[in-house]
Amino acid sequence: MPNSKEDLLTESDIKLMVDTFYEKVNKDDILSYVFNDFAKVNWETHLPKMYGFWNKVLFAKGDYKGNPFQKHIPLPVKKEHFDRWIALFEENMDEHFTGEIAEDAKLRAKSIAHIFHSKLSFIHS
């Protein structure tokens, strides 16, 4: 069977990436609690923000403005949460996309998770 996956190229691809990733997060034993029970994320407002964030990060398009780190400060997250987030992100990317931009998205996600974890470890110590 030929590989039908393509690279991330459009805003529709970003939407697919974000929606399928957060479906995994919502079913995950480790992450679901943080998003749904602790933070009580409103998915109707959160998902469009994530579309905007990733459009800005990967395509330098859109008008996303914000401080995503600030929202993470009160969350009860540790290294295992970030490790799981990265694992799900990479799994999701590999299921849906292949190519240079998809690989860039995975690298950026790892970088973001590392920076957030490092900053939170310092703040909470």
CATH code: domain of residue 67: 1.10.490.10
Q: pTM for this structure?
A: 0.91
* Range 76-89 average pLDDT: 94
Would you say residue 2 lies in a domain? no
Q: Is the pLDDT score of 1 beyond 50? A: no
The Cβ of residue 84 has, within 10 Å, a number of other Cβ atoms equal to: 19
Would you say residue 24 lies in a domain? yes
**DSSP category for residue 60:** -
Would you say residue 3 lies in a domain? no
Structure tokens at 24: 């995994």
> Would you place residue 2 in the very low, low, confident or very high pLDDT band (cuts 50, 70, 90)?
very low
Nearest to 31 by CA among 85, 89, 110: 85
Give the whole-number percent of the chain exceeding pLDDT 70: 96
Number of domains the chain contains: 1
Q: What stretches of 1-125 show up as alpha helix (H) in DSSP?
A: 11-27, 31-32, 43-59, 68-72, 79-96, 100-123
Between 74 and 46, the more confident residue is 46
